[in-house]
Amino acid sequence: MTRGLPTSREAWLGAATVAVLLALPAVLTSYAVTVFILIFFYGYLGQAWNVLGGYGGQLSAGHAAFVGVGAYSTTLLSMHWGLSPWIGMLVGGVLAAGLGAIIGGLGFRFGLRGFYFVLLTVAFAEVCRIVALNTDALGGALGLYITFTGDPWQLQFQDNRAYYYLALTLMLLATGVVALVERSRLGAYLLAIREDEDAAEALGVDTFRCKLAAIVLSAFLTGLGGAFYANYLFSLQPNAVFGIPLSVDVIIRPVVGGAGTLVGPLLGSLILSPLAEVTRIYFTRPGWAGFHLVIYGVLLIGIVLFLPRGAYPHLRRAWTRRRPDA
Amino acid sequence: MALLEVVDVRKRFGGLQAVAGVSLDVAADEIVGLIGPNGAGKTTLFHLISGFLAPDSGDVRLGGTSTRGLKPHQVCQHGLARTFQIVKPFQALTVLENVRVGALARTRALGAATRKAREILALVGLDHCADRTARGLTLADRKRLELARALATEPRLLLLDEVMAGLTPTETERIIELCRAINARGIAILLIEHVMRAVMTLSQRVVVLDQGQVIASGPPAAIASDPQVVEAYLGEAYGSAPEGRRAGA
Amino acid sequence: MDVTLIAQGLVSGILFGGVYSLMAVGLTLIFGVMRVVNFAHGDMMVWGMYVSWLLATRLGVDPTLGFAVSAAALFMFGVIVQCSLVDRIQDAPHEMQILLLLGVALVLENTALVAFGPDPQRVRSSLAQATLWIGPVFVDMARLVAFAVALALTCLLWLFLQRTDLGRTMRATADNPYGALVVGTDVRRVYAVAFGIGAACVGAAGALVSPILPFSPSAGLAASVTSFNIVIIGGLGSLPGAFAGGLLVSVAESLGAVFLSPSMKELVSFGLLIAILLFRPTGLFGRRA
């Protein structure tokens, strides 16, 4: 995999894709627009995760904590102090970054890797969930409800398509950030850490600082997404916004699409969001609510066994093998 | 003042005194060989020098500055690079990207680091597979990659841990030449090796470790005929002395 | 400070600890032999509970006997999962193992959700009503039976590992997998049996718990976390450590329930996990970190 400046073919492909995506709402039904909003939004969260989990190789199964912190802080600031979510979003991001600094600072300081680090992230997310569930000031078990005003200043829109463009912008923003990281020293170092942390240390890489930077950046971006979550879904419930299912939703797109690649999270989201929607529609009987998670589980197993690096690397290899002059 | 000064370093693991008061020096232009039977504490000593382990007591000085308690990446910044006994390539990265990580220790900019990496690859003889993934390399190439990566950090001292293990005689010969070329550029080398022929021809001085202590130190010829050394190896020593020949040659 | 309450907490804690120990023993066995962390452990327990429930409600089998079926069913499941899935990534990077077992956990938990619904269930045991009074403290028969069975199973496992050929082979493989291969051990078979036994332990534990506490599919995560807590405290790979750790954690939780509210208990559990993760060295008896 080369990671220099994009080739002219890649640049054209990227530009063409963006152009198509920008034009799409004109031809899509309202429902299809909704599906794309989900594709972009969860793709965005996946891309944010990608910094830490894909490039850095530090598996976090607790990213819902960052979404939740962002969502709750934006909403509370709006509810109690009338702060516009556009600004509250940044506050949410910073707070989430702070939580990331704590988790990373503690976890990496104490040398937690692999399974131990995963557990740590899960534990922190669960602590957040339980605290939110039991704190009345945060809405307790009922959570928070946001009134729909359709006021753009409140990050709310009458027209679905506005959400579409916002989600698309977020997705492109995250992808841009990841592209910058990819082409920076931090990016090269993160990949080295992912492959072999000790070898990286021996080559002068301050692995602690790099991993910390990764988790803080990842958490900040995810926290920003929390604001979108709050003002698109209009309800924040601790179990939904801090729970494992959301963390799984975040991880699965980059893992399926290709962790550690620029395109992976979006590709994964393109595959999975429609899938999740379909299962949601066809299995509406009560109790079948968890069925899409069964599919996620099967997919995870399948990916690990057959496409361990995700769909994108394999697709790319198949493509370049067919066109050796590429 | 020597480039590397190891001063009475000790390290204990539970009941085992792995390194029991080792002192040695490496001058700025030297190649020093570190030999000894298995379990003598050689790799542990490397870990202690490079910052992967902290000594219980004693000091390690690089260019006069104590590196005791520094983390490995800081020791690297001070000018010490090491390879590992079992090579640790960045499997999913290309050979060029591997070496670039080392080059980034001295150059922030990716472009300059990439150029530097290419130079190193040319020096080491890996430029023909610069864009190949490290995963697919032969053992000999992986060893050279490990060396190249360490070189890219512009060290003053290079620690090589059994870099010739598992290589054919031809491959070993090439690595020996490479070490000489590296040393000619002004980089000191401290190498752990079991391939006696390589150690004896390369090193200007040899230090022998046994059970965590230095039992002999001197020019290769003197070491080869040192009865204590022969005894420690129980016949594995390479030497012109009749005992050595009979026992292990 | 009501001494009776504390004594009660202690007794209940120790008795329930048998189940915790059994859960932890299963997890630590899998890790000790295979170096695999079974992320699906708690969700296997959930299925142990539901198998017991099915037996009780459909066939009228008492859960105190049904544990054997749960154990057998989970054993077979464990063997199948190991042979078909885990084995293929035995040498893969740890991240792959984690994701694979996370996938298994998701499938287990959510098929249970789909099959049985999200509402908590309970199993009636003919022994559930019986209570024994020892002085001012009462002993719940169901807990006593659970403790006795769990203890018996752990002892059986211990004997198996110490006295039988397969058990010794398993210990040898745990100690040195490469060496075991070299002397001709069918390492894959050892792994399959180890994973199966580990699953059987936690399945039996689930069945034993089913008449004591209400359960639902979402109990999986909490059970996994508790298992991890215990195993890390007791030392990954150490059977006595897992057993002692199980009793310890159960007593701590039980006493905690005397002084704290239920939601605080959950918080303490996760807080404990964080603390253990950060400050854990090798645990109480641990040899391996």
- Per-residue pLDDT 10s for chain C (289 aa) are 678 888 888 888 898 899 999 999 999 999 989 888 899 999 999 999 999 999 988 888 887 788 999 999 999 999 999 999 988 888 788 888 889 999 999 999 999 988 888 888 888 877 666 777 877 788 888 888 889 999 999 999 999 999 998 898 888 888 887 788 888 888 889 999 999 999 999 999 999 998 888 899 988 988 998 898 888 888 888 888 899 989 988 888 888 777 777 777 778 778 888 888 888 755 545 444 3
The CA radius of gyration of chain A, in Å to the nearest whole number, is: 19
A226 pLDDT band (50/70/90 cuts)?
A: very high
Q: Are B194 and B162 in contact (CB under 8 A)?
A: yes
The CA radius of gyration of chain B, in Å to the nearest whole number, is: 18
Q: Which two tokens stand for residue A2?
A: 């080369």
Question: Which run of H or of E encompasses B44?
Answer: helix B42-50
What average pLDDT does this structure show over A45-67? 96
How many Cβ contacts (< 8 angstroms) between chains A and B?
Answer: 87
Residue to substitute from A2, A181, A182, A195, interface B, most B β-carbons within 10 A: A195
Is B17 exposed, middle or buried, given 0-12, 13-18 or 19+ CB atoms closer than 10 A?
Answer: middle
The residue in chain A having the minimum alpha-carbon distance to the alpha carbon of residue C229 is A119
Spatial separation of the C-alpha atoms in residues A244 and A242, rounded to whole Å: 7
Spatial separation of the C-alpha atoms in residues C262 and C281, rounded to whole Å: 29
The residue in chain A having the minimum alpha-carbon distance to the alpha carbon of residue C96 is A304
Q: List CB contacts (< 8 A) between A183 and chain B.
A: 110
Q: Do A304 and C106 touch (CB under 8 A)?
A: no
Whether A55 shows a pLDDT value over 70: the answer reads yes
Spatial separation of the C-alpha atoms in residues A294 and C114, rounded to whole Å: 9
For residue B244, the model assigns a pLDDT of 42
Mean model confidence pLDDT for chain A: 90
B partners (3+ CB pairs within 8 A) are A
Q: Which of B72, B89, B113 shows the shortest C-beta gap to A201? A: B72
Spatial separation of the C-alpha atoms in residues B166 and B141, rounded to whole Å: 12
Q: Are C10 and C147 in contact (CB under 8 A)?
A: no
Q: Name the least confident of A32-46, B41-55, B79-93, C216-230.
A: C216-230
Can you name the residues that pair with C131 across neighbouring β-strands?
C140
Choose among A115, A158, A124: nearest CA to A247. A124
For residue B243, the model assigns a pLDDT of 45
Spatial separation of the C-alpha atoms in residues C243 and C230, rounded to whole Å: 9
Q: Give B21's DSSP letter.
A: E
Q: Which residue has the tokens 């059977």?
A: C239
User: Per residue in B88-107, pLDDT tens?
Assistant: 999 999 999 999 999 999 99
The residue in chain A having the minimum alpha-carbon distance to the alpha carbon of residue C117 is A287
Q: List CB contacts (< 8 A) between C228 and chain A.
A: 119
Q: List CB contacts (< 8 A) between B93 and chain A.
A: 191-192, 195
Number of Cβ atoms within 10 Å of the Cβ of A177: 18
For residue A326, the model assigns a pLDDT of 43
A168 pLDDT band (50/70/90 cuts)?
A: very high
Q: Which of A196, A207, A309 shows the shortest C-beta gap to B90? A: A196
A partners (3+ CB pairs within 8 A) are B, C
Mean model confidence pLDDT for chain B: 90
Q: Which of A2, A188, A204 shows the shortest C-beta gap to B73? A: A204
Q: Which of C94, C96, C274 shows the shortest C-beta gap to A120? A: C274
Chain centroid to CA B38: how far? 16
Residue to substitute from A203, A206, A212, interface B, most B β-carbons within 10 A: A203
Q: Which of A59, A106, A130 shows the shortest C-beta gap to C98? A: A59
Number of Cβ atoms within 10 Å of the Cβ of A5: 10
Q: List CB contacts (< 8 A) between A304 and chain C.
A: 89, 92, 96, 99-100, 103
Residue B87: phi, psi to the nearest 5? Answer: -60, 145
Spatial separation of the C-alpha atoms in residues B16 and A293, rounded to whole Å: 51
B161 pLDDT band (50/70/90 cuts)?
A: very high
User: Does ipTM come in above 0.85?
Assistant: yes
HSE (side-chain half, CA atoms, 13 Å) at C187: 18
Can you name the residues that pair with C132 across neighbouring β-strands?
C139
Q: Do A118 and C98 touch (CB under 8 A)?
A: yes
Number of Cβ atoms within 10 Å of the Cβ of C3: 8
What average pLDDT does this structure show over A71-77? 94
End-to-end distance of chain B based on CA atoms, in angstroms?
Answer: 38
Q: Do B89 and A199 touch (CB under 8 A)?
A: yes
For residue B38, the model assigns a pLDDT of 84
Q: Which of C106, C263, C271 shows the shortest C-beta gap to A297? A: C106
Spatial separation of the C-alpha atoms in residues B102 and B104, rounded to whole Å: 5
Helices (H), C60-133: 63-84, 94-116
Q: List CB contacts (< 8 A) between A244 and chain C.
A: 221
The residue in chain B having the minimum alpha-carbon distance to the alpha carbon of residue A184 is B110
Chain centroid to CA B123: how far? 18
For residue B77, the model assigns a pLDDT of 96
Q: Among residues 109-128 of chain A, which lie with CB inside 8 Å of chain C?
A: 110, 112, 114-116, 118-120, 122-124, 126-127
For residue A286, the model assigns a pLDDT of 62
Residue type, A314: H
User: Per residue in B56-92, pLDDT tens?
Assistant: 999 999 999 999 989 999 999 999 999 999 999 999 9
What average pLDDT does this structure show over B189-218? 92
Q: Give C224 to chain A, closest Cα distance, Å.
A: 10
Is B233 exposed, middle or buried, given 0-12, 13-18 or 19+ CB atoms closer than 10 A?
Answer: buried
Choose among B200, C118, B218: nearest CA to A239. C118
User: Per residue in A270-279, pLDDT tens?
Assistant: 999 888 888 8
For residue A234, the model assigns a pLDDT of 87
For residue C127, the model assigns a pLDDT of 65
Question: Which run of H or of E encompasses C144?
Answer: helix C141-163
Helices (H), chain A: 8-23, 30-49, 64-81, 85-109, 114-134, 160-182, 185-195, 197-202, 207-233, 238-241, 244-257, 264-282, 291-306, 311-322
Q: List CB contacts (< 8 A) between B104 and chain A.
A: 185, 188-189, 204
User: Per residue in A174-196, pLDDT tens?
Assistant: 999 999 999 999 999 999 999 99
Q: Are C17 and C23 in contact (CB under 8 A)?
A: no
Q: Which two tokens stand for residue B145?
A: 């990659």
Q: List CB contacts (< 8 A) between B84 and chain A.
A: 198-199, 202
For residue B247, the model assigns a pLDDT of 42
Helices (H), B71-138: 72-77, 95-103, 110-124
- Rounded percentage of chain A residues whose pLDDT exceeds 90: 61
Whether A8 shows a pLDDT value over 90: the answer reads no
Q: List CB contacts (< 8 A) between A133 and chain C.
A: 263
Q: Do A294 and C118 touch (CB under 8 A)?
A: no
